[in-house]
Chains A and B, each alone.
Chain A
């Protein structure tokens, strides 16, 4: 094994993990330096290398994930960018879907377009849905526009023409003309960034790419050079939203692929654990300070999607953000974190979030001026957290402030004391996450029965055992180093690239040649990206998104190897029908089936982690309990004397019965009275319900 470093720049902390030659790793958290994120990385890396006794020249790979691109989009701190589009389509990114994401709100405000109308320009040109010319590209008009772009001082240009996913000729021509005139300007074209049908999503994606591109390119070059200066001249790779690695050259050209890369690391972390323990159906549950993220992992592979939304402005509601059409690890994010604020609505119902107390002022119990009750305050009141065992060294939790806030925000509205209010908050936030997980499963045509939950993040293990019960799942895995899961995940990621393109054909008139051509092109595109980074063996996965004619939602169908021939339509039809039945119980005979979107994912083969058997055996006489304290037990509804144990005091085979908590520096694992945790040889906790 080689020495490798993972660096995850988050909103509050930058997590650095170093993997040593013997396969072990150590980690550190440093505060993120927002103005120049590379500073925190450089400091963290130097520090951790020194601590581990490693010379930076011996590091063979640095893998980096960052929220910088996401933040630039959310905070609108990108370049001065122009959008150039087809005549007649200037306002696509402003009129969006022409609908309100909240049906019951008269004062709804739709997200402002990333590029305002004054910076959106059009050129006469038009292709039809088959990519054939309807109107010729207006060279003169383009030339005049380029002159204007030069004089107006734009730093970056996004180009998005109608049906360019089918035929990029006019986008390519515009870029050629633009760069001939303005060689230093940044230019992104939609047929390269996101060649998927549906102009709102594609245009928005190319705008996002163009908008953050100058910023990200200069950041990445700066980071690489400074790492080199400190001796770390090894290759630097970026983790992308699809959960794979890409070179910094690719990342600088397609920075929109870096959006949501941090959470992707968490899902890879969980997928790696799933493979290690041989659990083929896993629910990954990551809860932090402001949100909880849930994703599904089957056969050790996280579920993926082709589009997602950034910056959902209204309570994480669908439709309230910016759509980005790129391959992404699919997850739902809900406003349920430790800092989420509790309130009571006009119905007397307890509500959690979406507002968060953040780290400033933080939960009331942080005693930094917060007066609203948060999930953390409820956990403190219920004995799940405790001032003596709370991870953060510089925070002295105040039970009195928590109790006061619980009554203030919730209790007084419902005539409940602080304890009962806390129970209510805990139950509601757990129920919210449970419901979100269930709805997410339904959306993906899955039933959660038989899934294993893997919990991480600072808040995940605190709430996981309750979610386990509410979802009716049987086992929960709480890995060690859960607080830096994403950065560890980076080190497990393959070189991978998914190329996606829209191409329409049906089983009735299947375009064999077109299908073979598009798959070949997508394969070579994805392969080229992967080959920039590695010569390793690869796997190629090919999928078509298909649906019955008339439907609007597609099901992915995975293809076998080989070229299509005259039998293709029949075989594809059968494959789709099978997939449809798995999703919805029954297929429909005799309907035409449409193929809409095609994708090829090429990934380097990562050596699977050594298989580890989890033991459920309860070692008799093992009693690692160090103390007891009063805590709430949701199973019996009573306050009980719960045990408190230090995770580091548990050794392999130790078992620990609830009610109680297992504490460690970055999180706390809660057990109700019918739970038992068994410490595994590798430091993981396996939690189950005790057989009755």
Chain B
């Protein structure tokens, strides 16, 4: 084929992105984990022989953006280049070599072509259970959070490592589903591997090297062009959020140079005694996501688009958790990094950066337990994903009850009630919760739930923006803070475990997003419509 080199590379780049999308889709289809399915809590990518990410599927989790990109380098290093064979499959869930907590299992598969190692496929999924205390912030060390699988061979030269399978099986709850999901990860890498080999044959390529160079060069140029929108200099921001034990101050200084953007988190509060600490790779992911979505939303994630973004933090701060700090629910604080770092640029990018939003998800796990020993019931775990409002944009209202920066979806109330003894009594827009402004913040929602069928709930809460609402921007008002209480008016703690009795309902008022611009400038018709629809009263 003698088609112009340029066009040839463009076509192959498109194809490669399609290959990783097929890889990710295969994973979604087979996953047992609710968060994979409903929250898109997975990632999939193809890497060159040096472990540099060439293409990554777009999924619902910015948190995997950089962490996943770095993971393959760790696999190459720990396995040892001389021990990488055709037919191998590697595994880890190390929070500091994978994606930030034990619940994410990363599987990596080398690809050989014409007897030569040409690259890797890697994929990550949030599995149902990893043993330990179960999913939650209560651990004081990572040892309590579950089994930690170092980088090991899950399969060597086509032979399954039965010892490792047994070891994992005996250390997790719901072992069939967890082992099923690991096989699913390996299978989706295999889908990618086969597609890639077919592509190399079709285009008669010996390896990925030339194509990777083309992709990196193109992406690098475009990334640097996009960064020119931010003048070199230092930009700072701080943001206080509720935290787990006590309020957390998040602080950032972003240094912009001709080379890229560096975020330093000095000034941030110290580590928590509980599992809300964030490995720095995870903080880096939400910083990078914020910068890319603001400056270069068209760019695909690969080694070159991520390289200009770097982070640092002093030891001992909550955004720089190290082993053996507990990190199980690192997303609660981690998700705020996007609003924190975007906020630093709000002054120089007034037409791009939105107001702050609810940020952290209001997900919860309710452990349904028998309400009375006289009426024995099997224990059932329930999970619900719910989002507050996002911040108003420079020319648009915020989005109501919709997650940002996470891509989480909610689940149908009917489907939730099908799974366990819960009744969702109310799930509605929370009126008057969007911050005022020329553009109104997205509204939160009101959720009212209760146990049924002779159960009560051991409720595990981890709700933020109750004491510290989302701040408005450029004159816009703050979003409404969140609130949690029982239907008899009893206040309910927003952190930690507490019982919802059999005859009570729990009411959650989710926070709204901040407003943007002077409320006086809001279009009269927009305000009239807000009243007509009952968004404001």
The answer, yes or no, to whether B319 is at the interface (CB within 8 Å) is: no
The answer, yes or no, to whether B524 is at the interface (CB within 8 Å) is: no
Question: For window 13-33 of chain B, which residues contact chain A by CB distance below 8 Å?
Answer: 13-15, 18, 21-22, 25-26, 28-33
Chain A residues with Cβ below 8 Å from B535 are 117
Q: Are A106 and B297 in contact (CB under 8 A)?
A: yes
Indicate whether A438 sits within 8 Å of B414 (C-beta atoms), given known contacts A89-B428, A98-B401, A106-B393: no
Q: Are A584 and B187 in contact (CB under 8 A)?
A: yes
The answer, yes or no, to whether A548 is at the interface (CB within 8 Å) is: yes
- Which of the 9-residue segments A538-546, A549-557, A562-570, A652-660 touches chain B? A549-557
Q: Are B10 and A198 in contact (CB under 8 A)?
A: no
Contact with B along A348-387 (1 / 0, CB 8 A): 1110000000000000000000000000000000000000
- Which of the 9-residue segments A422-430, A453-461, A488-496 touches chain B? A422-430
Chain A residues with Cβ below 8 Å from B385 are 98
Q: Are B14 and A99 in contact (CB under 8 A)?
A: no
Q: Are B32 and A443 in contact (CB under 8 A)?
A: no
Q: Are B3 and A97 in contact (CB under 8 A)?
A: no
The answer, yes or no, to whether A8 is at the interface (CB within 8 Å) is: no
The answer, yes or no, to whether A638 is at the interface (CB within 8 Å) is: yes
Query: How large, as a class, is the contact surface on chain B?
Result: 35 or more
Q: Are A110 and B399 in contact (CB under 8 A)?
A: yes
In the assembled complex, the CB of A52 is this many whole angstroms from the nearest CB of chain B, namely 47
Q: Are B58 and A94 in contact (CB under 8 A)?
A: no
CB nearest neighbor in A for B22: A442
CB nearest neighbor in A for B391: A106
The answer, yes or no, to whether B354 is at the interface (CB within 8 Å) is: yes
Query: How large, as a class, is the contact surface on chain A?
Result: 35 or more
Chain A residues with Cβ below 8 Å from B401 are 91, 95, 98
The answer, yes or no, to whether B454 is at the interface (CB within 8 Å) is: no
Question: For window 664-679 of chain A, which residues contact chain B by CB distance below 8 Å?
Answer: none
The answer, yes or no, to whether B373 is at the interface (CB within 8 Å) is: no
Contact with B along A328-339 (1 / 0, CB 8 A): 000000000000
- Partner pick for B448 among A88, A431, A504, CB 8 A cutoff: A88
Question: For window 139-167 of chain A, which residues contact chain B by CB distance below 8 Å?
Answer: 162-163
In the assembled complex, the Cα of A635 lies from the Cα of B445 at a distance in Å of 57
Chain B residues with Cβ below 8 Å from A550 are 32-34, 128, 174, 177
In the assembled complex, the Cα of A591 lies from the Cα of B183 at a distance in Å of 15
- Partner pick for B299 among A97, A346, A553, A634, CB 8 A cutoff: A346
CB nearest neighbor in A for B32: A550
CB nearest neighbor in A for B401: A95
The answer, yes or no, to whether A183 is at the interface (CB within 8 Å) is: no
CB nearest neighbor in B for A636: B2
Question: For window 500-537 of chain B, which residues contact chain A by CB distance below 8 Å?
Answer: 532-535
In the assembled complex, the CB of A207 is this many whole angstroms from the nearest CB of chain B, namely 16
The answer, yes or no, to whether B115 is at the interface (CB within 8 Å) is: no
The answer, yes or no, to whether A107 is at the interface (CB within 8 Å) is: yes
The answer, yes or no, to whether B89 is at the interface (CB within 8 Å) is: no
In the assembled complex, the Cα of A347 lies from the Cα of B15 at a distance in Å of 16
Q: Are B386 and A98 in contact (CB under 8 A)?
A: yes
CB nearest neighbor in A for B60: A103
Q: Are A128 and B396 in contact (CB under 8 A)?
A: no
In the assembled complex, the Cα of A513 lies from the Cα of B402 at a distance in Å of 41
Chain B residues with Cβ below 8 Å from A416 are 4, 6
In the assembled complex, the CB of B425 is this many whole angstroms from the nearest CB of chain A, namely 5
Q: Are B225 and A99 in contact (CB under 8 A)?
A: no
Chain B residues with Cβ below 8 Å from A431 are 11, 14-15
Chain B residues with Cβ below 8 Å from A605 are none
In the assembled complex, the Cα of A589 lies from the Cα of B49 at a distance in Å of 36
The answer, yes or no, to whether A129 is at the interface (CB within 8 Å) is: yes
Q: Are A553 and B409 in contact (CB under 8 A)?
A: no
In the assembled complex, the Cα of A239 lies from the Cα of B413 at a distance in Å of 34
Question: For window 230-263 of chain B, which residues contact chain A by CB distance below 8 Å?
Answer: none
The answer, yes or no, to whether A439 is at the interface (CB within 8 Å) is: yes
Q: Are A442 and B25 in contact (CB under 8 A)?
A: yes
Question: For window 75-103 of chain A, which residues contact chain B by CB distance below 8 Å?
Answer: 87-92, 94-95, 97-100, 103
In the assembled complex, the Cα of A438 lies from the Cα of B176 at a distance in Å of 30
- Which of the 9-residue segments B74-82, B98-106, B288-296 touches chain A? B288-296
Q: Are B396 and A109 in contact (CB under 8 A)?
A: yes
Question: For window 406-442 of chain B, which residues contact chain A by CB distance below 8 Å?
Answer: 407-410, 412-415, 417-418, 423-429
- Partner pick for B38 among A94, A110, A348, A552, CB 8 A cutoff: A552
- Partner pick for A117 among B402, B408, B429, CB 8 A cutoff: B429
The answer, yes or no, to whether A12 is at the interface (CB within 8 Å) is: no
Chain B residues with Cβ below 8 Å from A98 are 385-387, 401-403, 408-410
Q: Are B180 and A588 in contact (CB under 8 A)?
A: yes
Q: Are B428 and A90 in contact (CB under 8 A)?
A: yes
The answer, yes or no, to whether B200 is at the interface (CB within 8 Å) is: no
The answer, yes or no, to whether B281 is at the interface (CB within 8 Å) is: no
Chain A residues with Cβ below 8 Å from B3 are 423, 427, 634, 637
Contact with B along A582-596 (1 / 0, CB 8 A): 011110111100000
The answer, yes or no, to whether B218 is at the interface (CB within 8 Å) is: yes
In the assembled complex, the Cα of A442 lies from the Cα of B28 at a distance in Å of 11
- Partner pick for A106 among B11, B25, B354, CB 8 A cutoff: B354
In the assembled complex, the Cα of A116 lies from the Cα of B14 at a distance in Å of 40
Chain A residues with Cβ below 8 Å from B413 are 89, 162, 199
Q: Are B294 and A106 in contact (CB under 8 A)?
A: yes
In the assembled complex, the Cα of A562 lies from the Cα of B298 at a distance in Å of 55
Chain B residues with Cβ below 8 Å from A348 are 218, 221-222
Q: Are A88 and B428 in contact (CB under 8 A)?
A: yes
Contact with A along B67-89 (1 / 0, CB 8 A): 00000000000000000000000
- Partner pick for B409 among A99, A424, A438, CB 8 A cutoff: A99
In the assembled complex, the Cα of A586 lies from the Cα of B395 at a distance in Å of 50
Chain B residues with Cβ below 8 Å from A414 are 6
Q: Are A129 and B10 in contact (CB under 8 A)?
A: no
The answer, yes or no, to whether B452 is at the interface (CB within 8 Å) is: yes
Question: For window 22-70 of chain B, which residues contact chain A by CB distance below 8 Å?
Answer: 22, 25-26, 28-34, 37-38, 58-60, 62
Q: Are B1 and A428 in contact (CB under 8 A)?
A: no
The answer, yes or no, to whether A200 is at the interface (CB within 8 Å) is: yes
Q: Are A95 and B400 in contact (CB under 8 A)?
A: yes
Q: Are A104 and B293 in contact (CB under 8 A)?
A: yes
Chain A residues with Cβ below 8 Å from B11 are 427-428, 431
The answer, yes or no, to whether A197 is at the interface (CB within 8 Å) is: yes
Indicate whether A134 sits within 8 Å of B408 (C-beta atoms), given known contacts A117-B533, A427-B3: no
Task: Return the 5 tightest CB-CB contacts between A and B, nearest first.
Answer: A88-B426, A637-B2, A435-B18, A552-B37, A98-B410
Q: A103-B59, A110-B402, A416-B6 are in contact. List 7 more A-B contacts (CB 8 A).
A: A95-B410, A99-B408, A118-B534, A346-B298, A445-B29, A550-B33, A584-B187
Pairs across A and B, CB under 8 Å, 21 listed: A89-B426, A91-B427, A91-B429, A99-B402, A99-B410, A100-B403, A106-B293, A110-B399, A128-B423, A345-B298, A346-B226, A348-B222, A416-B4, A427-B11, A428-B11, A439-B18, A439-B22, A551-B31, A553-B28, A584-B30, A637-B2
